[in-house]
Chains A and B, each alone.
Chain A
Amino acid sequence: MAVPPEVLLDLLVRMVRIREFEEAGGRLMEQGKIPGALHLYVGEEAVAAGVCASLNRDDYLTSTHRGHGHLIAKGGDFKPMYAELFGKAAGYCRGKGGSMHIADLDLGMLGANGIVGGGPPIAVGAAWTAKRRGRGQVAACFFGDGASNQGTVHEAMNMAALWELPVVFVCENNLYGEYTRQDRHQTVADVAERAASYGMPGVVVDGMDVMAVHEATHEAVARARSGGGPSLLEAKTYRYFNHIGISPTSSYRSEDEVAQWRARDPIETFRQVLAKDGVLSLEQSDALRARVRSEVEEAIHYAEESPLPDPDTLLQDVYSEPAASATGGA
């Protein structure tokens, strides 16, 4: 397919935004400025960018514990994102959720998820709504290779196939679930094979190649929008950092392996292609990166300066109505 230059640029922008957001966030976590734990998406940017470029604003998305990249690619705003990571009132979730529960329902982003395998059945529900409404919306459902061993993932695939729901299942196979290599947690090399057992297409795609992800998603989304039912894409990808934070690696995988994947960096590869094809020069992509970086800095500054939540908000939003007094209070 002939891809217009603005789409190519858009793919690069999405990837660069994720990279810059994550690297800065990871540093802040390691400095102890962002509380808790961040699961960073660095290395996997082509997957979220390639998938989300085919989604509309009103399409739905379910995410994982490694969810910042999905939200950014769906159009998430840096300021409320960082504010949430800092636990501030201006955060997407008013400081209640943090990294692992970051969400923007206005963008159809139904939340990062602290439960591995928590998202896929929720995507089925969103797709059910989409089908009922009949406006051609789809639900993209991200999950990991590790998550593909949860029963929920299989229940969700079966239901989506049974009811021909507009779900695009996206398995981000980064070769590890935490510290366990894929060949030590499942016998198939390609999670995409599992699609066959639910009677839906299963496609393996190079997750370091944003164009490949984009093309495969385009097809799957078109199929879903037109009532053709779900499909499963498996993107082979890699996380550069450890399971949590930005420290590079440890005993469970070799430095060599990390280096081999880094050599196929999705952003670097793609910007070279764009330069070669005359779409965007290397200087221009450097400038883009610098622009994004200053946007990141501005957002971090905003988040750091913004106020903490009032402790009085603790009991707000447990229910749609204020909780009965019998159950409130310490």
Chain B
Amino acid sequence: MTEVLVVGAGPAGLAAALAARARGAAVTLLDAADELGGQYWRHLPPQRPAARERALHHGWARFERMRRELEADPGCEVLTSAQVWAIEPADDDGRVGADGRLIDGGDRAVAGAAARAALVVHVLVGPVDGADRVARSIRPDALVLATGAHDRTLPFPGWDLPGVFTAGAAQALAKGERVAVGERVVVAGAGPFLLPVAASLAATGARVVGVHEANRPGRLAAGWLPRPWALIGAVGKAGELAGYAWNHVRHRIPYRTGSAVVAAHGTDRVEAVTIASLDRDWRPIAGTERRVEADAVCVSHGFTPRLELPIAAGCAITSDRFVVVDAGQGTSVAGVYAAGEITGIGGVDAALAEGAVAGHVAAGGSPTDAEISREMRARRTTTDFAGRIEASHGIRSGWTAWLDDDTLVCRCEEVPYGRLRATGDATCSTGLRSLKLTTRAGLGICQGRICGRTVEHLLGGDGGFADGVSTDRRPIAAPVRLAELAGASAPNRPEGHLRKETP
């Protein structure tokens, strides 16, 4: 039986696990979080179940069905609080031929069968960042990566003040804990995601004083209908309550386009923001600045896919930095599939369709099989959606005009814009590795997850770097304690079934 490992239990991973089961594979589904659902279906914990959780989510019933089915299925092992921290080549990878087929796989060398993934996935299971999690190494036949994305927030003066959050943080706290990040909240950035965030905030008792989309109506209209609230439907619809809140949002909350938070003010916490109008390249227009009091600011300019695992697995990445996949969601590496936001920012419907295709093909199916024809069609329409998001909301270069010399670019190592530039100018370095080590930007504990793309843009423009280095490469995908590492399980025996071991 084919053994499929699915990493990430968001919409894409859930759909992949179900599809792989439907095709008869043994499945392990794991996620670093202790609940299934990923970013989209984040919900109150079992200690505090809500009678009307569905009101906050679109497709909640579908999620519950998927979860129930997987949890009840003895052929699917669901592993939560399971952090994948490394992926490495398996010892027997020498036996995979140039054509990607197994050369000498013993009884596994089935002629014509898809090649087995030659990788070992290292997992730590236990409380988040705990000191004595249990190590497991899994050597699947096929690996589906569905690790999703996180917010991309561009720096602006004051963005490091407490009270400035990513939009995703506001969403996570609202959905996961029913905590509103503030009472008077400004939401800003770019993309359709700002709208569900405003709706969730409103549904959690916060007053949203404005939603500011950086792009101007012309550009938005080119990608969307000129009615902003049409977008929320496109993102996969809010739940009934958020829909209700959205009604409120639509009538009561100013939605301003061509407008951005260009600074946050306060000494030890945010007290107010400066909002300015932007030109079509996101350059602030002089004279349009106005100050707005707020106790929380939620800013997001798009999403960055979580690429460390695909890169560790050796998957090819597109020039706009998503995982390259074929019609069956196969990556450039034999036996490795990718689905969801890591293959393009397309929202929940795309993630579900791609996940189902990936799971089906990983389990030995073909993208032309009738079982997944519906998903194959959905996959095509949703790629169009991803293109529209990028066309309407993609980041424009004028934003750097709102930086000043003291604005931190790298939050962890506290590298301000002025110093970043001065160091780059002084060394004349053309390599990203050297620029990171001389400026320290991106070397801190978040390992460039927050500032990486920004640093690349500020130091290299769009031309890239002479050393071809990217900030997305992180062979250690999450911090691991030295003692856990010292006890890491011994190299895997190449033969055999899914190896689930605790040393």
Q: Is chain B a partner of chain A in the same complex?
A: no
